[in-house]
C-alpha cells in the first residue's frame, strides 16, 4: 500500500480557558471524521484539553501584559492522529510537571492529596504515545492509533488495562 501524505491542521488561539473547549470540539470533529470510536474520541478530547489546560494555567501565572497563545497542530495519518500542543515562548518546567505523575494513592491521608498534577498522567494513560520536549517552549506530541474493526482489539470494550 502506498502511503499518502498526511494532512496537517494548525490552530493558534489565545491561551485562555474559554478556548480550551473550542480546541476540544475541533479535534473531536477531526477524530470523528477519521472513524475513531466514541471512547477513543473522548480519550483524545481529554488528552488535548489537558495539554491546553497546562498552557493556559502557565500563561496565567505570567504577567498578562503580553498575549500568550497556544498552538495546536494535528497530523492526520491513515493509521493514527498526531496532536501537538505548543506553548511558545514561555516554557514551563517539564521536570516539575513530571514529578507528581501517577494516580491517587488510597493509602495517603486525605489532607495530603494534591488537587493538581493529574493532567499529564491522564494524557499518558489515554494516548498511545506521548513525547514532551521543552527546549524553546514546551511541546507535547500525543499519538492515538486508529484501530479499525477490531483487528487489534476484539470486543467493543474500552481498554481497561489501567484498572487495578
Partner 1 sequence: MNLHIDIKEKAQESLVSLKGEIDVYTVPKLKEELIPVTEEPNKHVIVDLSGVNYIDSTGLGVFIGALKATDQSGSTLKITGVNDRVRRLFTITGLDEVIDIEVNEREEA
Q: What pairing do the DSSP bridges indicate for beta strands 80-87 and 7-14?
A: unpaired
Q: Which x/- pattern over 125-154 shows residues binding partner 1 (rule: CB under 8 A)? A: xx----------------------------
A 10 A CB-CB count for 14 gives 13
Work out whether 119 is an interface residue with partner 1 (CB under 8 A).
Answer: yes
Selected binder of partner 1 within 26, 37, 57, 90 (CB under 8 A) = 57
A 10 A CB-CB count for 65 gives 5
Q: Which is nearer to partner 1, 90 or 125 (CB)?
A: 125
Contact window for partner 1 (CB under 8 A) among 2-10, 86-94, 142-150, 156-164: 156-164
- Inter-residue contact 9 to 76 (CB < 8 Å): yes
- Smallest CA-to-CA distance from 137 within 91, 98, 73, 69 is with 91
CA distances from 163 to 59, 125, 129 (A): 34, 11, 19
Sign of the dihedral defined by the CA atoms of residues 108, 112, 117, 118, in that order: positive
Contact window for partner 1 (CB under 8 A) among 17-25, 61-69, 131-139, 144-152: 17-25
What is the H or E stretch that residue 52 is in? Answer: helix 38-61
Work out whether 46 is an interface residue with partner 1 (CB under 8 A).
Answer: yes
Selected binder of partner 1 within 11, 24, 30, 76 (CB under 8 A) = 24
List residues binding partner 1 (CB under 8 A): 17-18, 20-22, 24-25, 39, 42, 45-46, 49-50, 52-53, 56-57, 103-106, 108, 110-111, 113-116, 118-119, 121-122, 125-126, 158, 162-164
Amino acid at each position: 500500500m502506498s502511503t499518502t501524505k498526511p494532512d496537517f491542521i494548525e490552530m493558534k488561539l489565545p491561551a485562555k480557558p474559554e478556548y480550551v473547549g473550542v480546541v476540544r470540539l475541533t479535534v473531536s470533529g477531526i477524530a470523528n471524521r477519521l472513524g475513531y470510536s466514541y471512547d477513543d474520541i473522548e480519550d483524545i478530547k481529554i488528552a488535548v484539553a489537558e495539554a491546553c489546560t497546562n498552557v493556559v494555567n502557565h500563561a496565567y501565572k505570567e504577567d498578562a501584559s503580553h498575549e500568550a497563545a497556544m498552538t495546536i497542530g494535528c497530523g492526520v495519518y491513515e493509521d493514527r492522529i498526531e496532536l501537538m500542543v505548543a506553548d511558545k515562548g514561555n516554557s514551563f518546567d517539564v521536570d516539575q510537571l513530571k514529578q507528581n505523575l501517577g494516580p491517587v494513592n488510597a493509602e495517603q491521608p486525605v489532607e495530603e492529596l494534591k488537587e493538581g498534577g493529574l493532567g499529564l498522567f491522564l494524557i499518558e494513560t489515554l494516548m498511545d504515545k506521548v513525547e514532551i520536549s521543552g527546549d524553546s517552549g514546551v511541546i507535547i506530541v500525543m499519538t492515538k492509533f486508529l484501530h479499525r474493526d477490531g483487528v487489534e482489539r476484539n470486543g467493543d470494550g474500552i481498554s481497561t488495562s489501567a484498572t487495578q
